[in-house]
Chains A and B, each alone.
Chain A
Amino acid sequence: MLGKGVLKGMQVTIKRFVATYIEDLRYFPRRASQEAAEYRQRADTRGLKTIEYPEQKIEMFEGFRMIPFLIYEEDASPRCTACGMCARVCPAQCIWIERDKTPEGKNLRRPRHFTVDATICMSCGLCAEFCPFDAIRMDNNYEIGAYGRDDLIFHKEKLLRPVAYYAKIYPTEHALKEEEKRQKAEAKAKKAEQ
């Protein structure tokens, strides 16, 4: 029958159309609630997949990559030793590091300046992957819009974040690293005892 194929198509459209309304009713009268957003992110959702940003926000998966940040310890000392690994492995070459020096010209194991140019950063995460001191990680804050390009040049002050922030956005990885550290310290203590 001519037109059967078109009608079959319409049937799919109608089904989809109704499904979204059923889904809306479930959260009546607040369809933009956080709970609705969570439901819509699930793989078995049948209705809408979209959410109403910025009223609703999706929680990012651990390890979501945006712009790098630097970690400082609880005693406010940055973990970064200015070894330059991240600046060298960066595909876009968007990291600039100046090593700190004593007045006599001796190299210190900390950066004087550390700049990430977010306008050219390609968020690949290689800096975080190859950092030997776990000092640089990728931030998951994707709202970095700015009014001028100067605001997108991230200097050391803007990049530094406490280790607690790292623990918050990388819970699994942080726990793993802490465990590793603890084991290392234990092994060392044992060795010292012997």
Chain B
Amino acid sequence: MAKVREKAAAEAVIEEMSPLAARLKEEYDGAVMADSPEGILLAADRLPDVAAYLREAPDLTYDHLANVTSVDYPDYFEVVYHFSSTKNGGDPVTLKVRANKTDPVVPSLTPIWPGANFQEREVWDLMGIRFEGHPNHKRIVLWEGFEGHPLRKDWHEPYYEADHKPFPSRWPEGQHIQVEDRTPFKGNVQYPPNWDPDEWKPVDDMADFVERTEARLKADGDGMKTQKVVVNMGPQHPSTHGVFRMKLMLDGETVVGLEPVFGYLHRCHEKIGERNLWVQNIPFCDRLDYVSTISNAFPYVLAVEKLLDITPPERARYLRVTMAELSRILNHFVAIGFLFNDLGAYFTPVLYCLEEREFILDLFEMVSGSRMMCNYYRFGGVARDLPPDFMPRLEYLVRDRLPRGIDEIDYFLSENEIFLSRAVGVGVLPPEKAIRQSTTGPVLRASGVPYDLRRAAPYSLYDRFKFDVITETAGDVYARYRVRLREMRESVKILEQVLEQVEEGPIQEGKKVWQQKVPAGEAYGRAESPKGELGFYVVSDGGANAYRYHIRSPVLMNLTALEEMCLGYKVADVVVILGSIDIVLGEVDR
């Protein structure tokens, strides 16, 4: 790895710079240290200025902080920022800053870009880079007091066997070891040295939230000295769609402070991903967003294909789009159904929605062999071709069943007075704030920002299809519901065009290799998943395993705006607002 890095650094010093880097160099003397196609390297202390400039300059308008992540190189840490433009679309701009190994510190972008809040906390939690000026500098998925920072290369998990799969113990002398033999008190539990479990006292994580919220209320001029109520909601709560927890501060029934707590479903996805072979990550991707499973690997294969520099054949690309759009319809059905569950329409609408979903799952099962854990996308193609009875079934669904199902849901729910009174004007998120909080997907579009990656930065075949980017102006719960409903119709439209255009042909470019070697480099692949921008940032050192594998989760970013949406509404509305974001904890916690 070190060798590869040095080479890249040496290349970066050359005078030839991208126009943007040259301009930044001119504007900010000494800020730009190097430039390469993989990103502009900045001096750490100038980062906030340059980032603000990217947003404010009228012809740049990089107003959307898409992704913040970090990489652990042998000699330094690197924090990577991806900025995209909601106005102009196109590829994101990559900024990088470096931090030393002994005491890594980088200035925080959170005060000016609230969207960086959770992402910077995640970098601190998993990589151990401090962000100076962050208002709530706490761990995010692990608990306070966790020893070490797991994504550092020198951190080893309790079952640690080797840096990379395949593990040598499996073959050719493979002797099976029962999982139990390695579980509790036999090496599964790792205590930090000199730590006594009996003396450990749990941290009161509420106190800190109360303190911060009260300070903020005081600053806002909260004159009335009424007693506030602090409520803990979740992680076991039926409305939280999994194990999600919120700390709430209430004034009567009105929410005056909210802080989401994550990590109850954290499965070390990224650490596992760095141990895996490239191809082994594809089945793990299905476990991210377990509602729209099949399309999760889409951005991952796009990112790796960028490094491999291959393009899948036409038919494979059509199949990918087909599956992605089917999963979008499926996801929106589930989202709408469960929104009504949260509203109290207990299980009638959701079962009607799940019934339509069932037919789509049948298609997935037919083509991939599994209903939910599809494992369908491959580098340079897809896993299997369609079985003969797939097309007639798809055609029937697209031309008949799905439009009818969508119309029925529309007729059934859209004008329901109870729904209207609970949803209209609730959880309003103004467009500027939606962009600033880095929201994407239906949440952003419901606030009136026409930002859809399928249109803004077309990938795969999306530049061929005619479809509308759905927006609503109100930005409330009802608008988000309408966006999802109308988006399903657009997806059906895309599928109709697929049916007309798809032709027979090969489904795999080149030969499928199990131990795929990926050329050294970095790539950020992104796709418009049903929930928003799903991005994969991968770094390869030229080997068969990922050096860094990061997921930009759309739902985690959308939750950044949750407090903004909930402030001033009643505690009963929190449930509805959360339902309208459409969270899936598998993707939030990873």
Contact = CB atoms under 8 A, between A and B. Distances in A.
A85 interface: yes
A88 B170 contact: yes
A58 to B, nearest CB: 10
B176 A99 contact: no
B283 A98 contact: no
Contacts of B396: 43-44
Given A89-B514, A124-B375, A153-B178, A6 B173 contact: no
Contacts of B178: 117, 149-150, 153
A6 B417 contact: yes
Contacts of A117: 176, 178-179
Contact of A9 (B176, B369, B416): B416
Given A6-B416, A64-B369, A98 B173 contact: yes
B4 interface: no
Interface in B279-301: 279-284
Nearest to B355: A49
A123 interface: yes
Contacts of A98: 172-175
Interface stretch (A29-37, A125-133, A186-194): A125-133
Contacts of A62: 387
5 tightest Cβ-Cβ pairs between the two chains A and B = A96-B174, A84-B171, A5-B415, A124-B283, A88-B166
A63 B388 CA distance: 13
Interface stretch (B193-201, B405-413, B431-439, B444-452): B405-413
Contacts of B362: 41, 43
Contacts of B370: 64-65, 123, 125
B180 interface: yes
Interface string A1-15: 011111011001100
B417 A2 contact: yes
B397 interface: yes
Contacts of A126: 279-280, 283, 375, 514
Contacts of B279: 89, 126
A56 interface: no
Q: Which of A43, A44, A85 has most B Cβ within 10 Å?
A: A43
Contacts of A122: 283, 373
A61 B390 CA distance: 11
B415 A91 contact: no
A91 B383 CA distance: 16
A153 B176 contact: yes
Contact of A115 (B167, B176, B417): B176
Contacts of A149: 178-180
A108 to B, nearest CB: 11
Main secondary structure of the interface of A (DSSP, over half): mixed
A77 B397 CA distance: 46
A97 B172 contact: yes
B166 A13 contact: no
Q: Which of A97, A150, A153 has most B Cβ within 10 Å?
A: A97
B69 to A, nearest CB: 23
B163 interface: no
B216 interface: no
B412 A8 contact: yes
Contacts of A61: 365-366, 369, 387
B411 A12 contact: yes
B53 interface: no
- Interface range, A side: 35 or more
A172 B362 CA distance: 19
A115 B174 contact: yes
Interface of A: 2-6, 8-9, 12-13, 16, 41, 43-44, 49, 61-65, 82, 84-85, 87-91, 93, 95-99, 107, 113, 115, 117, 119-120, 122-126, 129-130, 138, 149-150, 153, 172
Contacts of A124: 282-283, 373, 375
Q: Which of B170, B348, B412, B414 has most A Cβ within 10 Å?
A: B170
A169 B233 CA distance: 48
A117 B283 CA distance: 18
A97 B387 CA distance: 33
A126 B377 CA distance: 12
Contacts of B212: none
A43 B416 contact: no
Contact of B369 (A5, A41, A65, A96): A65
Contacts of A41: 362
Contact of A43 (B284, B365, B375, B401): B401
A99 B172 CA distance: 6
Given A41-B362, A63-B384, A6 B172 contact: no
B387 to A, nearest CB: 7
Interface string B21-44: 000000000000000000000000
B360 to A, nearest CB: 10
Interface in B170-191: 170-176, 178-180
Interface in B136-173: 165-167, 169-173
A89 B280 contact: yes
